[in-house]
Structure 1
Amino acid sequence: MTASLNDIALRAGVSVKTASGALHGGSARMSDATRQRILEIAGELGYVTNFAARSMRQGWMPLIGVISDELITSRFATEIIRGLDGAARAAEMAVFAVTLGNRRDVGKTLGEIRQFRPRAIAYAAMYHKRVTLPPSAAEAIAVMINCQDDAGLIPSLVPDEEGAAIEVTRYLLENGRRAIAFINLPGLLAGALREEGFRRALVDAGMDGEAAPVLPAVRQTIYSDRAQSLVSAHVAALLDSSSPPDAILCGNDRVAMEVYAALRRAGRSIPEDVAVASFDNQVDIATRLDPPLTTMALPHRAMGRMAANILLSAEPPPVEVHRLPFQLVERSSV
């Protein structure tokens, strides 16, 4: 038989309300000694919180639900869940995710999550994008992670793409690079914002930002790592031009890996002849390249932690877009 609150209260000589307060953070007043005594008795009796009964009293379970828009299919984007889960565990909450696939719309997925009576619900995406949600979702979803809702009704946490591009471009300039080409990710919001930051950093340095080459990494209009790559052809053309680059900025670490191979085929050394920098910090790629790749680390874990703070807050946060900074990871490619 599982021990009950009544059993613990009887053994400790306190009321059930006091026992519940010690175990579940209730409002009952008690000394630290009494609280510790109740906790010890609960341990001795093997007490397990009846979350079902507790949820009936307070209206929710100690859970955070996540609508996962391809998030858990990406190895490095799962840092969002790690950050969220770590902060939730500190608050004695658990996180569960339901994947939003081709056969599930947002409304249906939201209904599946709400059956579990979570404390709050978040929407998290694999990459930075805008999302169209049904009107009812704005009332149920407390925060958007790595994405924004088109209607602007939900607080959003997104990477500061433009700021990251400014920072890494300035880093290349500070290291003496003046002819910088950018092989970017076409059709993605992140790519558009990074291009803006790249050109702005060049203008701020007194250079012609509009004339700097920005080239698509793939033949398709929207980037996919499965699309036909143009990287090798772009690198060959850049090196054969009248103004060859002394640095190449890459839209992500996969593109950087292709740039490395193309430079090696052309007999160029990294970073002596051409510096290479990138975005994402996919560690299994960046640290294994030779030389290791300088890249901008996405703030995925920080987004997860900040999302937990919003989800567990007693007061709803203001509806705004929070842009979290990347971190420059200096390695040997610059």
Structure 2
Amino acid sequence: MTISLSDIAERAGVSVKTVSGALHGGSARMSDETRQRIKEIAEELGYVTNLAARSMRQGWMPLIGVVADELITSPFATEIIRGLDGAARASDMAVFAMTLSGRRDVASVVEEVRRFRPRAIAYAAMYHKTVSLPEEFAGTVGVMINCREANERVTSLVPDEIGAAHEITSYLIDAGRRSIAFINLPGLLAGELRAAGFRQAMSEAGLNGSGERVLPAVRRAIYSDRAPSLVLSHVTELMSGPSRPDAILCGNDRVAMEVYGALRRIGAQIPDDVAVASFDNQLDIASRLDPPLTTMALPHRAMGRMAADILLSSDAVPGEVRKLPFQLVERSSV
């Protein structure tokens, strides 16, 4: 037998509107005691929300849709989705994602997400970049996660790349390192911003000039894991030159892993001869290197949680860019 709101209302001695408010977050005012009693009665009777009927009444399903811009291929996807899903579940919402790839454009994926009539839609990217949404969807997407909307029409949540680079560089300087090379990620917005933070920290310490070197991690104009690496040649040249660095900052943990290998080939010890630090905190890399890697952890889970809060509270300021801080993870490489 299907249990209705009326059945619960009759047992609880309240109105159907009150029951709906207790179970579905409606506008009815009630005490916490009444809300809890209604929930207990609903559970006792075996009430299951009719999502289709609820959708017809409200015009939306209790869902948050995510346009995933190659996000599922990223090791950080889990953290963004976990943060988003955890906050959504607290409001009785579920999260689903549709993947955007080279063969599917933004418009078609957004339309596919809209077919499910979600309460809200987020756009999440694999890495920090600028995204141009079609004009007709600027009002449909409620928040951008790990990316910026090119025309500043949507609230964007991004990592504070400049702040993170400034912090990790200052950490190296405070540890007594004075000649720091940065093997960076060419062609990426994250790399550009991290280089700015690195140079800012070096300048503030009076170490810009000969003590500051920024080198590309790969031969191509845009960084990718599949591009021909320049790490070995850079490390070999740096460590055999007249002004050897006493620290190498890496664009990400994968680059750091290559730096470790290159230093071992030439017999350099970490951190005695040269300190190594990085960005990302990919645990399967950073914690297993020998010595474990000091790195800046990306705020992906925090971005997911904040995105849900914005979408469900309508706390969005079109065009606002909110920068979330990284977290320094100290290990033994400095």
Please indicate the TM-score interval, normalised by the length of the shorter structure. over 0.9
Secondary structure of the structure 2 residue equivalent to 1:140: coil
Question: Which position in structure 2 is the counterpart of 1:141?
Answer: 141
Listed as ranges, the gaps of 5+ residues in structure 1 are: none
Question: Which position in structure 1 is the counterpart of 2:196?
Answer: 196
The one-letter code of the counterpart of 1:45 is L
- Is contact 1:122–1:142 with CA below 8 Å preserved after alignment? yes
Shift of 1:74: 1.0
Matching of residues 57-96 of structure 1 within 5 Å: 57-96=57-96
Q: Describe the shift of the 1:318–1:151 C-alpha distance in structure 2 as closer, same or farther (beyond 3 A).
A: closer
- Is contact 1:124–1:147 with CA below 8 Å preserved after alignment? yes
Question: Which position in structure 2 is the counterpart of 1:114?
Answer: 114
Please report the TM-score for the alignment, with normalisation by the length of structure 1: 0.96
Deviates more, 1:47-56 or 1:315-324: 315-324
Q: What's the % identity of the aligned pairs?
A: 74
Question: Which position in structure 2 is the counterpart of 1:220?
Answer: 220
Secondary structure of the structure 2 residue equivalent to 1:38: helix
Asked whether 1:317 is paired with 2:320, we answer no
The one-letter code of the counterpart of 1:91 is S
Asked whether 1:288 is paired with 2:288, we answer yes
1:49-71: per-residue Cα shift (whole Å, max 9, x none)?
11111121121111111100011
Q: Describe the shift of the 1:73–1:317 C-alpha distance in structure 2 as closer, same or farther (beyond 3 A).
A: same
- Is contact 1:162–1:194 with CA below 8 Å preserved after alignment? yes
Secondary structure of the structure 2 residue equivalent to 1:75: coil
Hey, what's the Cα distance between the residues in 1 that align with 2:324 and 2:111?
30
Secondary structure of the structure 2 residue equivalent to 1:20: helix
Shift of 1:5: 1.3
1:233-276: per-residue Cα shift (whole Å, max 9, x none)?
11000011110111000000000001101111111110000000
The one-letter code of the counterpart of 2:294 is T
RMSD of aligned alpha carbons: 1.4
Matching of residues 109-258 of structure 1 within 5 Å: 109-209=109-209, 212-258=212-258
Secondary structure of the structure 2 residue equivalent to 1:96: strand
Shift of 1:33: 4.4
The one-letter code of the counterpart of 2:183 is I
Shift of 1:211: 6.3
The one-letter code of the counterpart of 1:56 is M
- Is contact 2:297–2:327 with CA below 8 Å preserved after alignment? yes
Secondary structure of the structure 2 residue equivalent to 1:268: coil
1:108-152: per-residue Cα shift (whole Å, max 9, x none)?
111111111111111000100011111011110011110011111
Question: Which position in structure 2 is the counterpart of 1:99?
Answer: 99
- Is contact 2:155–2:316 with CA below 8 Å preserved after alignment? no
1:67-123: per-residue Cα shift (whole Å, max 9, x none)?
000111112232111111111111111111100012211111111111111111110
Question: Which position in structure 1 is the counterpart of 2:279?
Answer: 279
Hey, what's the Cα distance between the residues in 1 that align with 2:15 and 2:287?
58
Deviates more, 1:214-223 or 1:16-25: 16-25
Hey, what's the Cα distance between the residues in 2 that align with 1:178 and 1:83?
38
